[in-house]
Structure 1
Amino acid sequence: MQINFEEFEALENYPTKGILQFYVLVDDSGEYGINFEDITKQEKFRVVYFETIEKDESKLQEAPTIECDEENELINKPCLLIPEHGEMGISPSCYQFNQIVEKYAMKYEIDEAEKSDLNNYLYDFLNVKEDIHIGGYSAFTQDDPRETSDQDLTETLLQIGTIPGGPNDLEYIMWGDSGTANFLISLEDLKACNFTRVGYIWDC
């Protein structure tokens, strides 16, 4: 997948020009390039940024086609995404969710029983879509890896959910059993357009 930052409304702290490309390894393992030991190790996935875009098509090369076992195929058919600007709430699966609840519980002197009720209410109310978006908050099918490490990766560089509506009733994009993938980055690296340390995680 690639993002052309010149084609949509600027987001605070994100690049305003250039192309950002995301690659993951698709092989017979069905792991899609994930490294559970170190989500920032770009060995079987890559995030590459090109600050300038070559617009002379005569200088461009066609990308090679790589055959893939249909059982492990991640994207069933290429698709063009039309960007739309929007707002979103925090997902209850995001590691920052409990911190925010705790902050407001202290501010309004909410006791433990009421805090539990508040947590349950917000979990049901904040139904964040596991779609494709840049910025905002990340949603996770299982656990947010930042609960235990890499908590400086606060920014959602890109979230890619399972996208229905593809050909022959197949999903356009399918992560395992209807999962979600996230690419995460620190605010400092994002501002500097430094994409050498990006966290990549998907789960289902």
Structure 2
Amino acid sequence: MESVCFTGACPDMTREELTEMAEEKFEVKSSVTKDLDILVCADPNAGSSKLEKAKKNGTLIISYEEFQEILDEEEDEDFYSILQTRKILKYIREKYAMECVRIKPKKAESPLLMTASKFGGLPYWTAVEEYPKDKDGNMLTLLAQINFSDVPHLPDYPEKGLLQIFIIADLSAGRDMDDDGTTQNYWRVVWREDVDESLALSADALHEMGVQSAEEIMQKEHERRNSQMKSGKKLTLEHDFPLEKEYALTFEKGFSHPNQMLSEYSEMATSAAKEFGYPVYEDPQGSFSEDLDMNDYFCEDSKDGTLHQIGGYPFFTQRDGRSEDEEEVLLLQIDSEYNTDINISFGDDGIANFFITPEALRKRDFSKVRYYSDCY
């Protein structure tokens, strides 16, 4: 029998009444111990001694309202209970947490330095290099530029150097649906171990080469479509891009947690169920309690609504897009984001992932990157 302890006032009944109800399913304890399963509280931020001790012990902490749902729940042998589901999810979140670097974009008020970390904008480029083009000879456009001198260090990832990702400016966003995402036909990764700012071409020099930023391309595209509308012509699409502005980037180290789109999540859930002595279902994720809102758990990594990141667990909208044949880590993930100052969109609220094998990452061999994106 699992154990429970209460702290703070219950809004709907006396402590005695609640204890009497709880004793039908739980062992009720008066204090927080290391083996306590649940602490029920009025306010998880109250800072009481019981709460602080429970947090230190890793005890599951829930509200009185949530505990009432557990008491009212009817058992179903085909599903985990609310409590079992909560404990499995908590176990997975804590056991498999992985370090990552979160990326925060902010609309640039003026053109950024050529060597700056950015989404969009003009790239760092030198006069002695051939500019990236797709297999048909069309110039590619900068999607992202990461100066690793700005990025908190993750094991195996660079501590300096410039990573640049270019894609074709059309509806495909560089994805070639006829390959596995490793053939850089309509996108390109450029890696620079060393960067000399004095060699950077100016905006004017890049424009003379025919290089345009996403903002410049999309501004001309909007003007062209407006002209078609005014003249009564049929609207056509020549160019498209996931973003239309230049965004400055800041970085912060954090933790990434598993989500249900990962191919290994079922194995993680099974491991957790065995750890607690719960039933092992063929489809553990499909057996989670239907009375629990999974968004409370799987959206916690993106409280601000976005999952731009380096390292950690990738997120997908449709299926796990990683290679089934070899291990891959997340080099860069760019999410769709919409607010007053930011408009980034990969299709219908999609997400773009760039993967690399650990060995290639350690060798700084960015010719081995794989590009995958999907949307709703």
| Corresponding residue SS for 1:190 | helix
Pair 131,38 (structure 1): closer, same or farther in 2 beyond 3 Å: same
How big is the shift at 1:151? Answer: 4.2
State the superposition RMSD in angstroms: 2.4
How far, CA to CA, are the matches of 1:132 and 1:162 in structure 2? 9
Number of aligned residues: 195
Q: Which structure is richer in relative contact order (CA contacts within 8 A, separation 6 or more)?
A: 1
Q: How does 1:104-143 map to 2 (within 5 A)?
A: 104-113=272-281, 115=284, 116-118=286-288, 123-124=294-295, 125-127=297-299, 128-129=301-302, 130-143=306-319
How big is the shift at 1:193? Answer: 1.1
- Per the alignment, residue 179 of structure 1 pairs with 350
State the Cα deviation string for residues 68-104 of structure 1 (Å, max 9, x = none): 4346232111010111111121122122322322333
- Per the alignment, residue 212 of structure 2 pairs with 65
How big is the shift at 1:175? Answer: 0.8
How big is the shift at 1:136? Answer: 0.7
Structure with the bigger percentage of strand: 2
Q: Which amino acid aligns with 1:46?
A: R
Instruction: Tell me if 1:12 matches 2:159.
Output: no
Q: Which amino acid aligns with 2:316?
A: F
TM-score (norm 1): 0.84
Q: How does 1:149-188 map to 2 (within 5 A)?
A: 149-153=324-328, 155-167=329-341, 171-188=342-359
Unaligned runs of 5+ in 2: 1-143, 223-236
TM-score (norm 2): 0.48
Pair 84,165 (structure 1): closer, same or farther in 2 beyond 3 Å: same
Instruction: Tell me if 1:97 matches 2:244.
Output: no
How big is the shift at 1:111? Answer: 1.9
Structure with the bigger percentage of helix: 2
Q: Which has the larger radius of gyration?
A: 2
How big is the shift at 1:19? Answer: 0.5
Q: Does the aligned pair in 2 maintain the 1:40–1:198 contact within 8 Å?
A: yes
Pair 17,98 (structure 1): closer, same or farther in 2 beyond 3 Å: same
